[in-house]
């Protein structure tokens, strides 16, 4: 199986990565090489095998329903010091259209 240019463009858009035509073609070639490697796995019979999502077979631990934050203003100041654009405590972005 190999990918098409259109699929590369679609996936790049889903991932919100701008991609030029030249890059798309180059990426397509590389991805197809990689998918050859991945295809090795396709032929394996895995019927009845439970998918393994985690390295350990453990249950989720639960946190107590307790508020742990105590210095909201200092925290916000520290977090927003590294933000590209803020105003009145808000993170600013280009206008969101619904």
Partner 1 sequence: MKPWEVVIGIETHAQLSTRAKIFSGSSTAFGAAPNLQANAVDIALPGVLPVLNKGAVECAIRFGLAVGAKIAERSIFARKNYFYPDLPKGYQISQYELPVVVGGSLAISVGEREKLISLTRAHLEEDAGKSLHEGAGQQLHGRSGIDLNRAGTPLLEIVSEPELRSAAEAVAYARTLHALLRWIGICDGNMQEGSFRCDANVSVRPIGQAQFGTRREIKNLNSFRFLQQAIEYEVQWQIATIEEGGRVEQATVLFDPDSGETRAMRSKEDAHDYRYFPDPDLLPLLIDRPWVEQIRSQMPELPLAKRDRLIADYGLSAYDANVLTTSLELADYYEATVAAAGKANAKTCANWVMVDLAARLNKEDREIGESPVAAEQLGALIARIGDGTISTNIGRKIFDALWNGEGSSPDEIIFRQGLQQISDSSSLEALLDELLAANPAMVAEFRAGKEKAFNALVGQAMKATRGKANPQRVSELLRKKLG
Partner 2 sequence: MIEHSLQAMARSLADREISSVELTQLYLDRIVRHNSGLNAFITVDPAASLAQARAADERLARGEGGPLTGIPIAHKDIFCAKDWLTTCGSKMLSNFVSPYDAAVISRFGEAGAVMLGKTNMDEFAMGSSNETSFYGPVRNPWDGSCVPGGSSGGSAAAVAARLAPAATGTDTGGSIRQPAALCNLSGLKPTYGVVSRYGMIAFASSLDQAGPLGRSAADCAILLNVMAGFDDRDSTSLDRQREDYCRELAAPAGNKPLAGLTIGLPEEFFGEGCSAEVTRLVEAAIAEYRKLGAETVAIRLPSMGLAVAAYYVIAPAEASSNLARFDGVRYGHRAADYRDLTDMYCKSRAQGFGAEVKRRILIGTYVLSHGYYDAYYLQAQRVRRLIARDFAEAFRQCDVILGPTSPSTAFKLGEKAADPVQMYLSDIYTIAVNLAGLPAISIPCGFASGLPAGLQLIGNYFSEARLLHAAHRYQQENPWHLQHPDGFA
Residues in touch with partner 1 (CB under 8 A): 13-14, 16, 53-54, 56, 58-69, 72-73, 75-76, 79-80, 85, 87-98
Determine the Cα–Cα distance for residues 81 and 3; give it in Å rounded to an integer.
Answer: 43
What whole-number distance in Å separates Cα of residue 84 and Cα of residue 91? 8
**CB of 21 vs partner 1, minimal distance in Å:** 21
Task: Restricting to residues 4-23, name those near partner 2 by CB under 8 A.
Answer: 7-8, 11-19
Cβ neighbours for 85, distance < 8 A, ≥ 6 positions apart: 91, 92, 93
> Which of partner 1, partner 2, none sits in contact with 73, Cβ below 5 to 8 A by type?
partner 1
């Amino acid at each position: 199986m190999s990918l098409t240019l259109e699929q590369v463009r679609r996936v790049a858009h889903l991932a919100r990565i701008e991609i030029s035509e030249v890059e798309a073609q180059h990426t397509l070639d590389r991805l197809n090489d990689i998918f050859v490697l991945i295809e090795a796995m396709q032929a394996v019979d895995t019927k009845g095998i439970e998918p393994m999502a985690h390295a350990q077979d453990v249950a989720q631990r639960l946190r107590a329903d307790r508020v742990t934050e105590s210095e909201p203003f200092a925290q916000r100041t520290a977090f927003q010091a590294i933000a590209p654009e803020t105003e009145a405590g808000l993170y600013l972005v280009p206008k969101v259209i619904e």
